Amino acid sequence: MSDEPNHSPNKGLVAQIIGSTSFLTAVLIYMGWAYQNAVLAYFRVPVFSLNLSVVDYGLHSLGILLTVNVIFTLALVVVVVAGSQAPAVRRLVPPVVKRAFSRVPQVDLMIYFGFLITIAAGLLSWFGTQSNGLANWFISNPGVFYLVVGLLGLGLLLLTWPVRDRPYGHFIYPLAIVAAAACFLWATGLYANNLGNRAAHNIAGSLPTQTAVDVYSVQSLALSGPGVHVQHLRAESFYHYRYYGLRLLLAESSTYYLLPVGWSHEQGHTYILNGGDQIRIELSRGS
């Protein structure tokens, strides 16, 4: 009887699939958290005050990723990378350029490119987070900043890939993978955060059309704010107070997060109420 081989070619593929799936799951959860945190922080609500699960965060990020712009960008990357390997495309490269690059070993060429990309993208990323002028430009052009951070991770991989089998490469190449993953998380987190800020501004700007809320209470709740009014009900009524002029931010189980209809980021308050025997909450269509 012959011994079965200890290693199978499929094991490496399975390990890659498991690793990629785990990383993608982490990215989805992080993006969902970044988006929700940006939306709720705008209204001064701690994201951890909600009992959101990792599934909730993952589903939110799927809604972020499944957009036309993201799908087109991914398709463009695939087309560019695959097309660059086509013989017809390579024939378009001028002979002078081919001869210049042919004199440099491909391993050294990859290291040189990786070094240049890492230094350039690293400096831009650093100054973009430290310098107000460049930072403001990146804020107004977020897509460029995502590209810079992505190039930083790509440069690290190109720089260390050729030496991955050398003794010191066993340390620096895994470190480069971790750094590239961190860059990817950084870029996707910023993207989700920007979308969350944009969504929060849209909610605040359209409060009159959001779901209207009437709060009936046995005792005074002292709810106030721009556009909030209180009506004293009849003495024989079970509920003695009715508050209106409120809008629903979100609801979780029997907990309601409410905003005055005239809420503003500078001076607005977010009210958190729990429905029960003493409080009744009615939802209706906003004006």
Looking at residue 249, what is its pLDDT?
A: 92
The answer to whether 235 and 217 have CB atoms below 8 angstroms apart is no
Structure tokens at 189: 């987190």
Q: What is residue 96's predicted lDDT score, i.e. its pLDDT?
A: 53
How large a percentage of the chain has pLDDT more than 70?
Answer: 83
Question: For 121-167, how does the pLDDT look when each residue is reduced to its tens digit (9 = 90+)?
Answer: 888 888 777 766 667 777 778 888 888 888 899 999 988 988 888 88
Token digits for 173?
């190449």
- Is residue 32 assigned to a domain? yes
Query: How many domains is the chain built from?
Result: 2
Q: At what angle do helices 132-140 and 142-160 cross, to 10 degrees?
A: 100
Full domain range(s) for residue 139: 10-205
State pTM to two decimals: 0.75
Distances 148 to 23, 89, 151 between C-alpha atoms, Å: 21, 26, 5
1 belongs to a structural domain = no
Q: Domain ends where: 205, 232, 249? A: 205
> Which amino acid belongs to residue 60?
H
Same domain for 46 and 124?
yes
Shared-domain flag, residues 227 and 194 = no
- Assess whether pLDDT exceeds 80 at residue 83: no
